[in-house]
Structure 1
Amino acid sequence: MTNTIKLEISLTQAIVICLPCDKNDIYSVTNVSLRYIRDENEYDLFVNDYIIEALKSLNNILTKALNCELEIKGNYIEKGVGYFHNIYAHELWTTDNFDVDDPAEDFLVWSTPTEIGNETYIYNIQDHIHLEISPLYKWNSNFPDDESEYQTFEEFMNQHKIIDRIHIKRGTALLWQKVCQELMEIAILNDRK
């Protein structure tokens, strides 16, 4: 049985938390998945990992975004943070250069396993909160079972497009924080039983 909790963005957009149990029965180590739904499309954002990790990450980054502490560089706006994070990750894999700064360090909320290849970021653009979902290059460390799926890094970057970038209203961000805090409270109380 799967229960869901929606973090609504609009009538056609939401982040859905998929719980394996009733929300009152969760623990910090309950495995959950999160998906972004837009119209008929679904994208995995967080896959089969501890709920406390998903919630803490979202809650903490929303606090910073609500305080306008996550302003991105102007040159990141058009292509998105994900584009530049892909360049950073690829450079790490191919050169082992650890002196390069991670452009997503302050903005990364969730990352899926490489075979899924989605990353979620939250940041400010001119004091407005934005959620970005971006594809991640899948073949830095291994090749697909089906070679027809493989793309070179250059091909991937030439075709790179943000999956979605959504302006999150302040009231929506506060509501999401309330949900996160409520669920974390339930999990922590259940951990103590």
Structure 2
Amino acid sequence: DGGEDGQNIPLVPLLKRNMSIVFAFDNSADINGLPDGTSLVKTYERQFFEAGAKTPFPYVPDQKSFLHLNLTSRPTFFGCNAGNLTALTDSVFDVPLVVYIANKQYSFASNTSTFKLSYSIADRNAMITNGFEVASMLNGTLDEEWRACVGCAIIRREQERLGLEQTKQCKLCFERYCWNGT
């Protein structure tokens, strides 16, 4: 899955399929038992080596910037505008928009070691509940527009292929969630 070289999120099989969007749920334990973006950084860097040739991945910041910008504390979109990806590939529409969501504790400390192989039913259920809370932004209570923003991310590449302008809602979502490169 790439875990031995820091790619804890198994993205390469999806990248090889030219997906328009990839949801990257980061359950790594990079720093203090939580993700720091290393998995995305390693996948980004991989495209510049022989093993990753023809596997384009959008620009991402380094680990220090991930933490400094708090990109692990909220969902972040990478590769929001295909036109900005021309230096990576001749076919910018082959670079997916990546919705990055780092695991965190809302109701349960779910970022457990992969060496722990047995869980109580209560812990299992609490872990699933926390995963739902991470993916849904506490069932929409942290951002009531999160569901719409996910929809905007899903349709983005097709909008670009067809030359369609984003809706006002999608523009607002992208202002909120897209990493702007700084």
Q: TM-score, normalised by structure 2?
A: 0.29
TM-score (norm 1): 0.28
Give the structure with the larger strand fraction: 1
User: Which protein is richer in helix relative to its size?
Assistant: 2
